[in-house]
Amino acid sequence: MATLNTTNIKHASSSSNNIVLASNGSVTIPTLTATSLTTNTNFGKILQVVSATKTDTASNSTASSSWWSYTDSSLKATITPTSASNKILITGVISIGVDSQQYMMVRLEKNGSRLNAANGDQDGNKSRIFSGVWYSPESTPNTPYPNFIVQYLDTAGDTNSRYYNFGIAHTSGLSRTIYLNRGVSATNAFATMTCASTITAMEVAA
Amino acid sequence: MPVTINGTSGLVTATTFSGSSLSGIDTGKILQVVQAVKTDTASASVGGNTDWVSHGLSVSITPSSSSNKIFITGQVSVNADLNEGFSLAIQKNGSALTGATGDAAGNRKRQTASTEVDYNFTTATIPFQYLDTAGGTSAITYRPALNISNTDAYTIYLNRTANTSDSYSIVRTISTISAMEIAA
């Protein structure tokens, strides 16, 4: 291996030194472009973050034993992984109302379909969900409730664009109206609130 | 030998590199994370459409670039001496973060999240999340502004129940708020 003794490297047309070599091994380069960098320094693992926040309201007449897959762009996180082996951390909060006392269920979906690994295991005809809660509002509830939080670490699997969204359902034997970001009450009053729901996806380097 | 250059592979070895920018390599987007955890309790008489903000739960972060994002996530554990609707709005430097609240709709209160307190012997948890734009490089303080859906004043609690029984079935909980700076 040949040794070049110098302290500065300058491009022929540059007015100043481009690379400065210090005696202690430090190299100063204004802009370093490379395809890989191996170092003892830990770099961060979050490569990108995408988020959608829905601030308006929505409603849907949802039949018994059916899911309302909410795939509107206002509340889905669309992300394109840079590597199939990377992970995708999904986290979100959703505010829900319903027109009667029901068990309410939320599941995490990928491209509008249930993401099996993020929801309960298959067990006969039971609903596979992320979480559920008994909704026992007053007769005309002002408050969107319950408030679900969803978190899951998915494996990218490929580098295709995909979106993550919520699926919502009730356990009534009848059709029920489900609300997003509002309660049942339409009273135009301070105590009747509108809320926001959000979903975020972060690509995590493998 | 402080610096070596392999002419075949292109590998440059040095003990340190310094410079103002690096391109072509993903180095991670989370630049800093700060968190506040409240483990003690707090209470206040709140009503008449007043927000409760002096509960002691807030987090401050100083972005390194105004174009970076701030991801805010947290949860509050609440109760009240009235079974009632309960809600919060994320505040940024003392003002509601409008993009993190529901759209305007008449006289309705624009909030980030809500729940209903149905019992005095257990707390209700309200989670919240939002991806904000830094907008500047000065310190930013985020906090939840808590509200009860009643025009009369009632006592609301953080991290404890209204029920004061000294019993195993009565809980003490925590509330948290975190902020992460994300490179644009």
Is position A72 within any domain?
A: yes
- A37 chain-B contacts, CB cut-off 8 A: 22, 25
Q: What is the per-residue pLDDT across A125-165, written as a single tens digit (0 to 9) for each? A: 888 998 887 777 665 566 666 678 998 999 999 999 999 99
Q: Which of B68, B85, B49, B72 is nearest to B144 (CA)?
A: B72
- pLDDT surpasses 90 at A188: no
DSSP string of B65-77, one letter each residue: -TTSEEEEEEEEE
Q: Which of A95, A97, A172, A96 is nearest to A127 (CA)?
A: A172
Is position B8 within any domain?
A: no
Over range B137-161, report the average pLDDT: 94
Name the least confident of A97-106, B64-73, B151-160: A97-106
How many domains does chain B contain in total? Answer: 1
- pLDDT surpasses 60 at B1: no
- A174 lies within 8 A of chain B by CB: no
| % chain A with pLDDT above 90 | 50
- B152 lies within 8 A of chain A by CB: no
- Which residues are CB-contacts of A46 (< 8 A; sequence separation ≥ 6)? A202, A203, A204, A205, B28, B29, B30, B182
Of B1 and A169, more confident = A169
pLDDT at A40: 67
DSSP string of chain A, one letter each residue: ------SEE--TT-SS-SEEE-TTSEEE-SEEE-S----SSPPPSEEEEEEEEE-S-EEEEE-TT--EEE--GGGEEEE--S-TT-EEEEEEEEEEEESSSEEEEEEEEETTEE-GGGSPPP-TT----SEEEEE---SS--S---EEEEEEEEE--SSS-EEEEEEEEE--SS-EEEEESB-S----STTSEE--EEEEEEEE--
- B151 chain-A contacts, CB cut-off 8 A: 190-191
Is position B6 within any domain?
A: no
Cis peptide upstream of residue A146 (ω within 30 degrees of 0)? yes
Q: What is the per-residue pLDDT across B24-67, written as a single tens digit (0 to 9) for each? A: 777 788 899 999 999 999 999 998 789 999 999 999 999 999 99
Between the alpha carbon of residue A117 and those of residues A66, A113, B126, the distances in Å are: 20, 12, 25
pLDDT at B121: 85
Comparing CB atoms, the residue among A32, A33, A44 nearest residue B28 is A44
Q: How far apart are CA B126 and CA A144, in angstroms?
A: 12
Domain of A102, CATH number, reads 2.60.120.1340
Q: How far apart are CA A83 and CA A206, in angstroms?
A: 9
For the record, the structure tokens of B165 come out as: 């029984």
Task: Determine whether B58 is exposed, middle or buried from the number of CB atoms within 10 Å of its CB (0-12, 13-18, 19+).
Answer: middle
How many domains does chain A contain in total? Answer: 1
Q: Would you call A143 and B86 a contact, using CB atoms and an 8 Å cutoff?
A: yes
* B131: closest CA of chain A, how far (Å): 7
Q: What is the per-residue pLDDT across B101-122, written as a single tens digit (0 to 9) for each? A: 999 999 898 999 988 888 888 8
Is position A5 within any domain?
A: no
Is position A24 within any domain?
A: no
Range of the domain at B86: 27-182
| % chain B with pLDDT above 90 | 60
Is position A37 within any domain?
A: no
Task: Determine whether A59 is exposed, middle or buried from the number of CB atoms within 10 Å of its CB (0-12, 13-18, 19+).
Answer: middle
Is position A54 within any domain?
A: yes
Q: B102: which DSSP letter?
A: P
Q: Are B146 and B42 in contact (CB under 8 A)?
A: no
Is position B92 within any domain?
A: yes
Q: How far apart are CA A14 and CA A5, in angstroms?
A: 21
Is position B10 within any domain?
A: no
Is position B176 within any domain?
A: yes
pLDDT at B130: 96
Q: What is the per-residue pLDDT across A106-132, written as a single tens digit (0 to 9) for each? A: 999 999 999 999 988 989 888 899 888
Is position B151 within any domain?
A: yes
Range of the domain at A145: 46-204
Is position B18 within any domain?
A: no
Is position B9 within any domain?
A: no
Interface of B with A in 96-125 (CB under 8 A): 99-116, 118
pLDDT at B128: 95
Over range A93-111, report the average pLDDT: 91
Phi, psi (degrees; rounded to nearest 5) at A116: -55, -45
- pLDDT surpasses 80 at B134: yes
Q: What is the per-residue pLDDT across A33-91, written as a single tens digit (0 to 9) for each? A: 777 777 766 678 899 999 999 999 999 999 999 999 999 999 999 999 999 999 999 99
ipTM of this model? 0.75
Comparing CB atoms, the residue among A29, A51, A192 nearest residue B17 is A29
Over range A166-177, report the average pLDDT: 94
Q: Are A88 and A156 in contact (CB under 8 A)?
A: yes
pLDDT at B43: 97
- Which residues are CB-contacts of A103 (< 8 A; sequence separation ≥ 6)? A132, A133, A134, A135, A170, A171
Burial of B101-134, coded b for 16+ CB within 10 Å and e otherwise, reads bbeebeebbbbbbbbbbeebebbbebbbbbbbeb
Which of the four pLDDT bands, split at 50, 70 and 90, describes residue B16? confident
Of B179 and B11, more confident = B179
For the record, the structure tokens of B68 come out as: 């970076």
Q: Would you call B28 and A46 a contact, using CB atoms and an 8 Å cutoff?
A: yes
What residues does B181 pair with on adjacent strands? Answer: B32, B70
Comparing CB atoms, the residue among B16, B23, B103 nearest residue A26 is B16
Q: How far apart are CA A54 and CA B129, in angstroms?
A: 12
- pLDDT surpasses 70 at B86: yes
